[in-house]
A = this chain, B = another copy of it.
Amino acid sequence: MTHAPLRIGLIGAGRIGASHAAVMARRVPEVDLVAVVDARPGAAEAVAGPLGARTEPSPEALFAADDIDAVVIAASSTAHTELIVAAAEAGKHVFCEKPAGMSLEEIDRGRAATAKAGVAFQVGFNRRFAADFRAARDAITAGRIGEVQLMRSLTRDPGTGPADPAAVPAWTIFTQTLIHDFDSLNWLNPGARAVDVMATADALIRPDFRDAGLLDTAIVVIRYDNGAIATAEASFAAAYGYDVRGEVFGSAGMVTAGDGSSTSMRLFDVEGRTAATARGDVELMVDAYTGEFVEFANAVREGRPPSVTGDDARAAFAIAQACIESMQTGLRVRVDQGPTS
**Which A residues contact B (CB, under 8 angstroms)?**
1-3, 25-30, 49-52, 131-133, 135-136, 139, 144-147, 149-150, 156, 198, 200, 202, 204-205, 207, 217-219, 221, 223, 227-229, 231, 233, 235, 237-241, 243, 249, 251-277, 287, 290, 330-332
Complex Cα distance, B237 from A107, in Å, reads: 40
A245 to chain B minimum Cβ distance, whole angstroms, is 9
Say yes or no: A265 contacts B256, CB within 8 Å: yes
**A259 to B, closest residue via Cβ:** B264
Q: A139-B265, A259-B264, A332-B330 are in contact. Are A217 and B272 (CB under 8 A)?
A: no
Residues of B within 8 A of A252 (CB): 239, 269
Complex Cα distance, B130 from A316, in Å, reads: 36
Query: Could you say which of B218, B254, B267, B271 contacts A255, with CB atoms under 8 Å apart?
Result: B267
Residues of B within 8 A of A139 (CB): 265, 267
Say yes or no: A52 contacts B1, CB within 8 Å: yes
Complex Cα distance, B159 from A167, in Å, reads: 50
Say yes or no: B1 contacts A25, CB within 8 Å: yes
Q: A29-B29, A198-B200 are in contact. Are A132 and B264 (CB under 8 A)?
A: yes
Q: A131-B263, A261-B264, A266-B255 are in contact. Are A275 and B272 (CB under 8 A)?
A: yes
Say yes or no: A253 contacts B227, CB within 8 Å: no
Residues of B within 8 A of A146 (CB): 239
A-B contact pairs, 26 of them (CB 8 A): A25-B29, A26-B29, A26-B30, A27-B29, A27-B290, A131-B265, A136-B265, A139-B265, A139-B267, A144-B269, A146-B239, A147-B204, A149-B205, A149-B235, A150-B233, A202-B229, A204-B228, A217-B229, A235-B249, A241-B272, A254-B267, A255-B267, A255-B268, A256-B265, A259-B264, A330-B332
